[in-house]
Amino acid sequence: MPGFELFGELERKEVNDVLDSGVLMRYGFDGMRNGHWKAKELESELQKQFQVKHAQVISSGTAAVSMSLAVAGVGAGDEVIMPCFTFVASFEAVMMLGAIPVLVDIDDTLTLDIEEVKKAITSKTKAIMPVHMCGSMANLEALKSICDEHKLVLVEDACQAIGGTYQGKALGTYGDVGSLSFDFVKTITCGEGGAVITNNDKYAQFADHFSDHGHDHIGNDRGAESHPFLGYNFRISELNAAVGLAQIKRLSDFIAIQKKHYTVLREALSQIPEVVFRTVPEGGEENYSFLNFFLPDLEITRNISKAFKDNGIDSCFHYYDNNWHYVRKWEHLKELKSLYPISEEVKDGLKYLQTKSFEKSDHFIGRNLSCLIKLSWTETEVKERANKMVEIIKNLLNN
């Protein structure tokens, strides 16, 4: 991770097909295309590889999350239960619809704590949205059971976990609808892009229309198409889709490389008793894009994080002090710093953030280091990195 590390001839060929045709838009201009429909081809490839009935490729992972919720009927005043450890896009996508993000604690999976989810359900709850952070997943079977009991929608944010699986299903396909991201630092990239994936025919039709201003895409005359309902412009360009099409064809190779590098690092760190690895729910296999582990306490973790950086061990993240991924530093959300007026319903719905604490999550995030697995490392570089990490951790634990 990320896929841009291994750009090659296949990406260049797919992009050149688009440039040679001159058609950069995914819809229309049929006669000029020379048979090239990169967004459609990417959707077909996603359906095949993920064994899912429908894929709608769009402009970003954030758009995919918001659209996943929209096609499931989530809107004004609805509550969406989600983890307090995620990327800010997850709650932004909820709020874009006028819905209320209900942040709850995580556990040692670094995803939703099941008991906290149960406590958070109210009469306004419409959906549960697990976020499969750093390549691994929530306990989806337990969450599905809760959704079935309370008649809620299970919406998977799998933007950071493409290629991971749960009970033999690709992440994003276990729930009612899922979202993927293909931005520049994901395992496969379009530069900017995302996808909504689902086995629900109605949701798929909604996604097709909603992503293109509500166009119904019936007939061959785009100007004559009707609009069954309101939509937005979440279209992906053919150039972005072309890069994604090349990358998705290489996904299995990327996952294999990540697993190989991940395994070298994990086996090295396993010799340190104080290092405890994140829990992967039974039946799950992460996509190996990050190696996540816990250290004894916050102070030690901060010291080791600093020592890693000082000694050239890059891209190992301590999210406790990070303002993109953890609730502790989300002042713009807590204080509702917005360019436009926020509805009173959402304001009231978010008042809980003024007093709510997340001690359970602090316990895990404070002690966690999340180390990016690069595709471009050589075997020698991975081994040297592993040895250096072990040496740094042992030295600081013994001081």
CATH of the domain at 327: 3.90.1150.10
The amino acid sitting at 3 is G
Judge if 289 and 312 occupy the same domain: yes
Give the side-chain half-sphere CA count within 13 A for 370: 23
Number of residues assigned to the chain: 399
Q: 368 and 291 in contact (C-beta within 8 Å)?
A: no
Query: Does 192 share its domain with 323?
Result: no
Residues 360-397 pLDDT 10s: 999 999 999 999 999 999 999 999 999 999 999 999 99
The answer to whether residues 208 and 278 belong to one domain is: no
| 309-317 contacts at long range (C-beta below 8 A, 24 or more positions apart) | 311/388, 311/392, 312/388, 313/371, 313/385, 313/388, 313/389, 313/392, 315/371, 315/372, 315/374, 316/369, 316/370, 316/371, 316/372, 317/369, 317/370, 317/371, 317/372
Note if the bond before 2 is cis, omega within 30 degrees. yes
- Our measurement of the distance from residue 312's CA atom to the centroid of its chain's CA atoms, rounded to an integer in Å, reads 27
Who contacts 189 (Cβ-Cβ below 8 Å, separation ≥6)?
2, 3, 4, 182, 183, 243, 244, 247
269: helix, strand or coil: helix
Question: Which two structure tokens, joined as six digits, stand for 190?
Answer: 């379009």
3-state helix, strand, coil in the chain (%, to 5): 45, 15, 40
Distance separating alpha carbons of residues 63 and 303, to the nearest angstrom = 37
Amino acid residing at 351 = K
Q: How far is CA 32 from CA 29, 184, 217, 395, in A?
A: 6, 29, 19, 64
147 in the same domain as 14: yes
User: At which of 191, 220, 250 does a domain end?
Assistant: 250
Q: How many domains does the chain have?
A: 2
Domain holding 107: CATH number? 3.40.640.10
- 259 and 218 both lie in a single domain: no
242 and 257 share one domain: no
CA distances from 268 to 279, 307, 388 (A): 18, 18, 10
Task: Compute the distance between CA of residue 295 and CA of residue 101 in angstroms, rounded to an integer.
Answer: 30
Q: In this structure, are 196 and 305 located in the same domain?
A: no
Residue linked to tokens 């039946």? 283
- Which of 225, 250, 275 is the C-terminal boundary of a domain? 250
Question: What is the distance between the alpha carbons of residues 243 and 160, in angstroms, rounded to a whole number?
Answer: 18
Point out the domain boundary residue: 186, 217, 250: 250
For residue range 333-364, what is the model confidence (pLDDT) as tens digits? 999 999 999 999 999 999 999 999 999 999 99
Q: What's the confidence (pLDDT) of residue 1?
A: 75
Name the phi and psi angles at 128, rounded to 5. Answer: -115, 130
Query: Could you tell me where the DSSP H helices lie in 249-294?
Result: 251-269
194 vs 182: CA distance, rounded Å? 5
Helix axes 251-269, 238-248, angle to 10 degrees: 60
Same domain, 39 and 164: yes
Q: Does 297 share its domain with 160? A: no
Question: What pLDDT does residue 374 have?
Answer: 97
Instruction: Say which residues have a Cβ less than 8 Å from residue 301's Cβ, sequence separation at least 6.
Output: 295, 318, 320, 366, 367, 368, 369
Q: What is the pLDDT of residue 3?
A: 85
Which tens digits make up the pLDDT trace of 232-275?
999 999 999 999 999 999 999 999 999 999 999 999 999 999 99
DSSP class of residue 181?
A: E
Q: 26: burial class by Cβ within 10 Å (0-12, 13-18, 19+)?
A: buried
Which residue range(s) make up the domain with 95? 3-250
Q: Do residue 110 and residue 207 come from a single domain?
A: yes
Instruction: Identify any residues that bridge with 102 across adjacent strands, giving them in sequence order.
Output: 81
- Please indicate, yes or no, whether residues 271 and 342 belong to a single structural domain of this protein: yes
Q: What is the pLDDT of residue 220?
A: 87
Given this model, what pLDDT does residue 2 score? 84
Residues 6+ away with beta carbon under 8 Å from 383:
264
Rounded CA-CA distance 367/107 in Å is: 12
Positions in the chain short of pLDDT 70: none
Residue 257 and residue 226 share a domain: no
SS3 for 169? strand
pLDDT number for residue 71: 98
